[in-house]
Structure 1
Amino acid sequence: MTQQWWRELPPAAGAFVMATGILSVGLHLMDFEVASWVTLALAGGAWVVLAVDFGTRLLGDHSRWETEAATAPALTGVAATTVLGTRLSLAGWQWGAVVLLVVAVVAWPVLLGFVVRHWGRRMPGAAFLVCVATQGVAVLGATLAQAGRGGWLMWVALGFFGVGIPLYVVAFAHFDVAQVWRGAGDQWVAAGALAISALAASKLAAWQHWTGVGHTVLRVVTLVLLGLCLMGYVVLLAAEVFNKRPGYNIRRWATVFPLGMTAVATLSTAAALKIHPLHDLGAVLLAGAAVVWVIVFAELLWTSWAKTQGSRA
């Protein structure tokens, strides 16, 4: 039974780590440390399970690994690694964060190449993971630079940020816009990619060693990206309200992640650009993300319990 459960984990399971990890970051920023540590433990434990599963498939079932690596959800592995690394850095565990940055940087071009080569037209929201994974590296690199692990990491972050923006445009060109109405949860990644881009931009703008025109441009870009993210948030929320899609789906973790990421990006922008009303908005958005996380987690537990009961019967 354990082996079967282990082998049934899909690549999209990485979205759980992304959602739980970014919620942990947000709770830390709002000084809810107990809840932040609990969610960090959940995200870290899930990441270890998925990492072992990833390695097992790579070494023992390479054909299946290649098949799954060609799908956009495979990039949740890179994104989840960077989100977890960012939280570890904020906790003061810099060496652990550095290791995760190395893992992400090594895996990023491999998985990105597999995914892009198998892209098609009219794709679901998972297409935007090419941007999310890239900007995740930018966020982690900038976070480590701010933690004193080397100013050169900020230049690395700037490079990945610069690559992530055109990747968003390319992903949007392949995105099936009808997914906004009928998607199963991952349509929210369209907003989540803008949110993590805004978060990366805010961290770049907060770097104290950059001044002048370049710094001004980063501040403007941060506000533009956050504004676009919030607009997308409203559109997607309206679609959810008018077209309810009840029941648990693993892609719902790809809904929770953008909710949490939007909150964190708003809080980070408020701190970096000294715009205090954004802090209040970020707090409200974080509360909403936490509520949705609890609902989706409860649905996951209920679905798992019902499946176990059914198999016993």
Structure 2
Amino acid sequence: MEQLSPAYFALVMATGIVSIGASDFGLPLLATGLFAFNLAAYVVLACLTALRSIRYPQAFLADMTDHRRGPGFLTAAAASCILGAQFLSMARSLAAATVLLALGMVLWAGLTYTIFTALTIKRDKPPLQDGLTGAWLIAVVAAQSIAVLAALIAREWPQPLRLELNFLALAMWSWGGMFYIWIISLIFYRETFFTFSPGDLTPPYWINMGAMAISTLAGAQLAQNAPDAPFLAVLLPFLNGLTVFYWATGTWWIPMLLVLTTWQHLIRRFPLRYDPLHWGAVFPLGMYAVATKQMAATLQLPFLAPLPAAVFVAALAAWTLAFAALAWQITRKLARWWR
């Protein structure tokens, strides 16, 4: 428990988006099964994280102020909102979705300002190539997950609350996009101007794409909500244009990440072992599939229809492999414990 990864809530993020994707692609039994598993995983991880903060406060705080591990805590905010989206779309529970949105916002605000304040004022800081990873973009995903859930809930609430929630979604979408520009500039600089070894290519680098995918989904949902909010109607060309911009940026990253992953494991022979961070690679695939499907429907782009289906199959396969590796690791640990 002391070594529990702060980013383990990425399991909930990955399972949640694959579940939503299964529902969107006409697989209701799979979607429901993953929803049940995800709810249990969320509760277990919340309890383990709370126990870790109580039993091992020094390790907990050290992680929160660590440049590499600290941003991983923001997976809790993103996971809360993605689980809320599941409650809304599958269980039709507006109350649960609203509670999880509120929790996600509290976690996002508390963790964002705690972590980045600590990283700003701490005396001993690592060099850029040692302290910066793709996990920093979880801050973008957390903000955009609030935008997604707020936009979904806004459709269920009466006016004027519907107007206010849509504005919240727009504000978080805008902030997340700006934060992506800040962080991805540093990441691209780090990748191209510093030595990049196979061990540096951790799975969260797939969030380079995943952050743009969830930004695409939030943009498509805001465009769909334009009839309910005059300020969204005025901004509709901007919303649609920036949504395509986000999607194109995320799409560019996919071949690049595939090439780098091939270089890492097939050329440089870097071993592939289970790590909680692997869920950070599953989530972007599922999110890209769902976001592309939503964007294509919103902007009437039927020629994109084969793409999200193909990527969803890849996301489901990646989730299955990650889950099998997790189950195997748990089985081995239990076997050693019984001995």
Contact 1:186 / 1:255 at 8 angstroms: preserved in 2? Answer: yes
Contact 2:170 / 2:222 at 8 angstroms: preserved in 1? Answer: yes
Measure, in 2, the Cα distance between the counterparts of 1:79 and 1:237: 25
Confirm or deny that 1:177 pairs with 2:191: yes
Confirm or deny that 1:105 pairs with 2:100: no
Match of 1:257 in 2: 283
Match of 2:250 in 1: 229
Q: Give the counterpart letter for 2:174 in structure 1.
A: G
Question: Unpaired runs of 5+ in structure 1?
Answer: 1-5
Match of 1:207 in 2: 225
The superposition leaves residues 206-257 of structure 1 with CA deviations (integer Å, 9 ceiling, x where unpaired) of 1142565510110111111001101111211122233225221211100001
Q: Give the counterpart letter for 2:334 in structure 1.
A: T
Match of 1:3 in 2: none
Q: Give the counterpart letter for 2:322 in structure 1.
A: V
Measure, in 1, the Cα distance between the counterparts of 2:246 and 2:289: 13
1:166 aligned residue (178, 181, 191): 178
The superposition leaves residues 70-121 of structure 1 with CA deviations (integer Å, 9 ceiling, x where unpaired) of 3010000001111111111112111100000000111111101122231662
245-254 or 189-198, which deviates more: 245-254
Change (3 A) 1:101 1:281: same
SS of the residue corresponding to residue 305 of structure 2 reads helix
Match of 1:196 in 2: 214
Measure, in 2, the Cα distance between the counterparts of 1:23 and 1:13: 16
Change (3 A) 1:180 1:85: farther
Match of 2:85 in 1: 86
1:6-17 paired onto structure 2 within 5 Å: 6-17=1-12
Match of 1:299 in 2: 325
Q: Give the counterpart letter for 2:181 in structure 1.
A: V
1:16-165 paired onto structure 2 within 5 Å: 16-58=11-53, 61-70=56-65, 71-91=70-90, 92-117=92-117, 118=119, 121-122=128-129, 123-148=132-157, 150-165=162-177
Measure, in 1, the Cα distance between the counterparts of 2:335 and 2:45: 25
276-285 or 15-24, which deviates more: 276-285
Measure, in 2, the Cα distance between the counterparts of 1:276 and 1:147: 28
7-16 or 75-84, which deviates more: 7-16
Q: Give the counterpart letter for 1:126 in structure 2.
A: A
TM superposition shift of 1:171: 1.6
Q: Give the counterpart letter for 1:136 in structure 2.
A: S
TM-score by length of 2: 0.85
Contact 1:198 / 1:226 at 8 angstroms: preserved in 2? Answer: yes
Match of 2:313 in 1: 287
Contact 1:130 / 1:171 at 8 angstroms: preserved in 2? Answer: no
Q: How many residues align?
A: 308
Q: Give the counterpart letter for 1:142 in structure 2.
A: A
Identity over aligned pairs, percent: 28
Measure, in 2, the Cα distance between the counterparts of 1:165 and 1:49: 32
113-122 or 263-272, which deviates more: 113-122
Contact 1:127 / 1:174 at 8 angstroms: preserved in 2? Answer: no
Contact 2:10 / 2:75 at 8 angstroms: preserved in 1? Answer: yes
139-148 or 16-25, which deviates more: 139-148
TM-score by length of 1: 0.91
Measure, in 2, the Cα distance between the counterparts of 1:302 and 1:283: 29
SS of the residue corresponding to residue 318 of structure 2 reads helix
Contact 2:226 / 2:236 at 8 angstroms: preserved in 1? Answer: no
Q: Give the counterpart letter for 1:293 in structure 2.
A: W
TM superposition shift of 1:282: 0.8
Q: Give the counterpart letter for 2:143 in structure 1.
A: T
Contact 1:180 / 1:239 at 8 angstroms: preserved in 2? Answer: no
Measure, in 2, the Cα distance between the counterparts of 1:224 and 1:89: 28
